[in-house]
Structure 1
Amino acid sequence: MSQFEFTHRRKNPLTGKWVLVSPHRNNRPWLGATEQNAPSNLPEYKSTCPLCPGNHRANDTCNPAYDNTFVFTNDFGALTTQATDPSAVLNNDNPLFEIEQATGECRVICFSPKHNKTLPELSVAEIRAVVDTWKQNYIELSAQYACVHIFENKGEVMGCSQPHPHGQVWAHNHLSTEIQLEQDNQRTYQQNHGGNLLGDYVKHESADGERVVYENEHWLVIVPFWAAWPFETLLVCKDDIRQFGQLTDTQSTTLAEAIKVLTTRYDNVFNCSFPYSMGWHSAPSNLTDNSYWRLHAHFYPPLLRSATVKKHMVGYEMLAESQRDLSPETAAKILKNASDIHYSQGNHNE
């Protein structure tokens, strides 16, 4: 049993936020809502899917017959490249009603032409193609925008409207709230301690091992000490890489391997297509000094006890601070013990 099996709080050094850890609550009876399992018998191609090769999307654009990854401008993007001029509103100097212009680009990245293959069901080579596509789009967009967000929402429970495996890229010049928080805290850590926050953290976690889920030459997957979601993980580069566009061929291949292992173990925890939201955090491209940054990705899965019971971030979590029932150390042990062979291939966790 972990030494942390008592009620306590932990601080997230990247954001400055706290999380309340209450391990004794994980065994309480559950009478709340349950989720539906994602269908496991999806076809390889679906004629009504707007992301499948050769199909028409909402704007009547026809997808090409792609056989690898496919990128297009989001038909319903939250950001547009065209700035409007609401000068009467923007010139308001009342501090209670701050507003600023927001422009940018939103793209969709299809991971595979196959409608029924999520990341853990792709080969390492196929995931490497996704990594290369992420890198290419990051390089293109970071040349114009300071902040580039690469992310994936997997599963209906995380708001994904299409089961076809895909992610998104949003790019803009303002620093998003999470990036601003991480920037401020990483910079402050360097000023106060002389080191790189995530670089130092990687060394501590790799040496300790209790929260490590997977590690290879260039990447570390851990349940962070400050995790808020039950099976939250942090995927961080062990090398001094600050932006996604800096990845070498070797780092890209080992990243694909790490993603394959992590997402496979996720699915094997409850023998289901494990939902999550994940996203990459890179140093903003307009910094003159980004030495305090380290490239990393956050995985936020909502499932708590089974394929149908999720963690609800409500009440205290919304009005006070994050709270979790499963200790990060216990979550790491569960993920570490999950098989690397996907359950759909005959593996079954007991």
Structure 2
Amino acid sequence: MTAGDLPHRRRNLLTGEWVLVSPQRSKRPWQGEEAPVPASDAPRHDPNCYLCPGNRRTGGTTNPDYSHTYVFANDFPALLDEGANAAAGDLFETMPARGEARVICYSPNHSQTLAKLDDRGRRAVVDCWCELSAEIGAEWAFVQLFENKGSMMGASSPHPHGQVWASDFVPQLVETEDRHQRAFRERHGRTLLADVIEAELTDGARVVEKNDDWLAIVPFWAAWPFELLLVARNDIARLEQMGERSRESLSLILGRMLRRYDGLFGIDFPYSMGWHGAPHSLADDAAHWRLHAHFYPPLLRSATVRKHMVGYELLAEVQRDLTPEDAAARLREVTI
């Protein structure tokens, strides 16, 4: 075995956590769960879909006959204007959690995922993200934009859509990223992800897509098999800071990335993705931040075999078999 084929650990620079990489396990036989192949023949309009134009949602509201991106307040929000009272004790502690949640229907077309939208349609979604980040961020400490795509990732509706959860607190994972980026800036006087971009472009082994404004990589510390990190190459801390060129090039690179996902196993590739930008509670104190998005897809070997975060991962440390370098190479090989 070469050094790259032997077990080793890699540290996630954004969180400080370690990932165990075990390349030799890629050859093990698989007799575990094989999920059904996700359907990819969705109609343009589904009369039973809660999110299609003109249909009635479970909360009782009827959707308008929308013709572009459509945003509405989540009928079943995880956060409300009012939170529970704080309670402290030696063992058990609670704190109030306030916020709001919205749903973003990408398109009236029930079959048009982000990968399948044309560049104009994807650009409309990008503009929507930017507008929501600015609007909601003016009121709340942090705005989390995300998408769960596919039933495998827990999507409650097959209609392509994303979500926005805004809160009066900075969530734990974002607070951890903030702390590590800030510490790096204080130690080195540079932006952590700017240094990562420079190193990844020099190395090239984990680069999947790039243009003048964005870089998509399988990060060195990736936990999921075909995880991607999409990073702004310019000094941008939040979505709403993007100019016209950055928005347009983001739409283009998203299309290329997501078509590679779909082409990898020939299906509508499931994933959870989300944007991490500087919390709005930081105001102008965000020089250590660089806007980025995480893509976490579960599929491992094929359209039916997925990675399960169980056993050792739940009890000890995240572990992966396929190296990030091999994953990036496989994604680059996909014809789009």
TM range, smaller chain: over 0.9
- Distance between the aligned counterparts of 1:64 and 1:2, measured in 2? 59
- Distance between the aligned counterparts of 1:60 and 1:175, measured in 2? 32
**Residue 20 in structure 1 maps to residue 47 in structure 2:** no
Q: CA deviation at 1:95?
A: 3.9
Unmatched 5+ stretches in structure 1? 341-350
Partner of 1:277: 272
Question: Aligned ranges for residues 1-350 of structure 1 at < 5 Å?
Answer: 4-84=4-84, 86=85, 90=86, 92-287=87-282, 288-340=284-336
- Distance between the aligned counterparts of 1:15 and 1:74, measured in 2? 30
- Distance between the aligned counterparts of 1:3 and 1:65, measured in 2? 58
Q: Show CA shifts across 1:208-230 (max 9, x none).
A: 11100000010000000000000
- Distance between the aligned counterparts of 1:50 and 1:169, measured in 2? 18
Q: Show CA shifts across 1:90-138 (max 9, x none).
A: 2x43142121000101000001101111111111111000000111111
Taking structure 1 as reference, are residues 96 and 124 closer, same or farther at Cα in structure 2, changes over 3 Å only?
A: same
- Distance between the aligned counterparts of 2:220 and 2:213, measured in 1? 20
- Structure 2 contact 144–166 (Cα < 8 Å) conserved: yes
- Structure 1 contact 2–329 (Cα < 8 Å) conserved: no
Q: CA deviation at 1:37?
A: 1.3
Secondary structure (helix, strand or coil) at the match of 1:265 reads: helix
- Structure 2 contact 82–97 (Cα < 8 Å) conserved: no
Matched length: 335
Stretches (4+) displaced over 3 A: none
Q: Show CA shifts across 1:227-256 (max 9, x none).
A: 000000000000000011101111001000
Secondary structure (helix, strand or coil) at the match of 2:5 reads: coil
Q: Show CA shifts across 1:9-30 (max 9, x none).
A: 0000100100000011011100
- Distance between the aligned counterparts of 1:39 and 1:301, measured in 2? 17
Secondary structure (helix, strand or coil) at the match of 2:136 reads: helix
Q: Show CA shifts across 1:150-198 (max 9, x none).
A: 0000011100121110000000111101101000000111111221000
Taking structure 1 as reference, are residues 299 and 269 closer, same or farther at Cα in structure 2, changes over 3 Å only?
A: same
Structure 2 counterpart of 1:250, which letter? R
Structure 2 counterpart of 1:147, which letter? F
- Distance between the aligned counterparts of 1:268 and 1:6, measured in 2? 29
TM-score by length of 2: 0.98
Q: CA deviation at 1:3?
A: 6.0
TM-score by length of 1: 0.94
Unmatched 5+ stretches in structure 2? none
